[in-house]
Amino acid sequence: MILAVAVAGFRERRRRPAYAVVLLAAVGLGYLAVPAAGSRWTIVSLGGYRGVYDSAYTGTVCALAGALWLCVGGFYVVRTALAQDRATGVRELLAVSRMRSASYLAGTFLSNLLVLGSMAGALAVTAGLLQLARGESYAVSPVALLTPFVLFTLPVLAITAALAVFWETVPGLRSGFGNVAWFAVAVVGMIAAQSPTAPLGGLGTGPVAASLRDAMAARGLSSTEAAIGFMYLDEPPRTFGWSGLPVTADLVADRALLVLVAVVVAVLPALWFGRSSPVRSSGGPVRSAPADAGYADAAPIPYPRGAVRANRTFARLVAGEARSLLAGVSRWWWAVAAGLCAVTLAVPTPTVTALLLASWGWPVLVWSRLGLQGRDTGVDALLGAYPAGRARLLAEWVAGVAFTAALGAAALVRLGIAGDLGGVAAGAAAAAFVPAMALALGLVSGAPRLFQALYLTLWWCVVNGIAGLDYLGAVAGGPSPLVVAATAACLVATAYGAATARARRR
């Protein structure tokens, strides 16, 4: 029964377009993990050294990169399994079956793990191909290549799959807020899991780093640092030979225990999770329909003839898009946004840009609706027969720009008053860029999570001072506002292309 739920869930999700995007992302991650010999980018820092690209080293760095990034990003891929079952009515069918909640949750956990595991599989295949492509060693050892994936990636992905189930069973976490909460939890968790003293081997960095250091020491080299992330080196790293991590019984036991913990985390919510109760499973009380006046009982009304068309309706379209974008946003959300604006007006000028960054991190869940509202609500079934589809798409973007600009207005006014016209231009370009990114990613992937994950990563990079990715002028030396605005234009064009392609597929 558990296996049936798992396989059905996996089949359903692997047939979605987003799954192909996810697999491509896994391949891209492998490409980043094994850069060309002359590259200065690395995701494993060993004091300016790296291992020769043989099966052991290539497999290990790809496995560690997978454990890190598939954990952070993969969560967003699998976190709607229970919500999907509810939306499609599958959960109601299961609720009247003999299946217990624990079995259902275990099956969903396994389904999540299959999705994440297939991403790890794509990454492993990429690792093998990149080993050959880089040409430093042509001897492919499947055991050396795959063992790190089994020992490091899969247990971490099991924890991710379990937490995705857990998140969906906790009322406060199953909403969009849960996506943001996960990003924060994952960032902190990943830093802690890289510590040599992390419980059950953490991410796996500790034992791997120790083994790599031993290999370096044997060759008279030394390194005090060992970290994974995405780092830029002053010079391309030099190489040394490494035969791989010795697999000990303790290590295997630790990783098996991690998988066991994952199973417990996934099944634990059976204590409070109700499969059939709409009140418990929707996160709020079910509203009853308003009293129906009774269409048939009413006196017949003559049909009103005559409708006048206008040439200019764009402003009303923008207003309508803005209304549907913002309808349902809670009061406490607006209170925080208003608070950020108020603080921005009060702080000293040098702090204004930092507050602009905060103001434009807050609406990520609202932006992520762009491009998806019509599809998610089913309104697209009506709009498909309405004229001016291009104008509607443009209106949706303009509504997003107006919303973004309104949230950043306090900061932009302050920068303008201070004479920082460059800052104003950068802010204006960012106000165009962020909704364009949301619209394009929403239409391309068909889900809000790709934007949520990528935008938060981009925003986090800017918070950490990476100038090359600074889209709002917060860090000196970032791209010019013209480049950001041009990127926004390209993203709007991409959104239009994706919408057109979708319409043609109907």
Partner 1 sequence: MLELLEVTKDYPNRPHAVDAVTMRLEAGVLGLLGPNGAGKSSLMRIAATVTRPTRGRVLFEGTDVVARPDVLRRTLGYLPQDFGVHPHLTAREFLSYLAAAKGLSRRSARERVPQLLELVNLTGAAKRPLGGYSGGMLRRVGIAQALLADPRVLIVDEPTAGLDPQERVRFRTLLSDLASDRVVVLSTHIVSDLETITDDVAVLAGGRLLHRGTLDRMLSGVAGQVWELSADPADVPRLQAGFRVTRLVRTPSGVRVRILASAPPDRRAEPAVPDLEDAYLGLVSAGVRS
Under the rule (CB under 8 A), what is the footprint of partner 1? 287-298, 300-301, 303-310, 313, 316-317, 319-321, 323-324, 327-328, 373, 377-379, 381-388, 392, 504, 506
Q: Cα(47)–Cα(49) distance, rounded to whole angstroms?
A: 6
Contact present, 117 and 154 (Cβ < 8 Å): yes
Q: Which residues of 96-126 are buried (b: 16+ CB within 10 A; e: fewer)?
A: eeebebbbbbbbbbbbbbbbbbbbbbbbbeb
Q: How far is CA 502 from CA 104, 340, 384, 496, in A?
A: 34, 38, 11, 10
Q: Decide whether 235 or 297 has the Cβ nearer to partner 1.
A: 297
Q: Minimum Å distance from CB 290 to partner 1?
A: 5
Q: Minimum Å distance from CB 291 to partner 1?
A: 8
Spatial CB neighbours of 474, under 8 Å, sequence gap ≥ 6: 353, 354, 356, 357, 462
Q: Minimum Å distance from CB 400 to partner 1?
A: 16
Q: Decide whether 15 or 98 has the Cβ nearer to partner 1.
A: 15
The phi-psi region of residue 228 (left if phi > 0; otherwise alpha if psi is between -120 and 50; otherwise beta) is beta
Q: Cα(99)–Cα(270) distance, rounded to whole angstroms?
A: 12
User: Of 191, 192, 190, 226, which Cα lies nearest the Cα of 211?
Assistant: 226
Pair type for strands 227-232 and 41-45: antiparallel
Q: Minimum Å distance from CB 500 to partner 1?
A: 11
HSE (side-chain half, CA atoms, 13 Å) at 261: 16
Q: Decide whether 215 or 395 has the Cβ nearer to partner 1.
A: 395
Q: Minimum Å distance from CB 109 to partner 1?
A: 30
Q: Decide whether 331 or 506 has the Cβ nearer to partner 1.
A: 506
Q: Minimum Å distance from CB 503 to partner 1?
A: 8
Q: Decide whether 286 or 476 has the Cβ nearer to partner 1.
A: 286
Residue with tokens 């991409």, as numbered in its chain: 494
Q: Minimum Å distance from CB 319 to partner 1?
A: 8
Q: Decide whether 228 or 393 has the Cβ nearer to partner 1.
A: 393
Q: Decide whether 114 or 395 has the Cβ nearer to partner 1.
A: 395
User: Of 195, 168, 197, 204, which Cα lies nearest the Cα of 60?
Assistant: 204
Q: Decide whether 174 or 213 has the Cβ nearer to partner 1.
A: 174
Contact present, 491 and 436 (Cβ < 8 Å): yes
Q: Minimum Å distance from CB 75 to partner 1?
A: 27
Q: Cα(351)–Cα(411) distance, rounded to whole angstroms?
A: 10
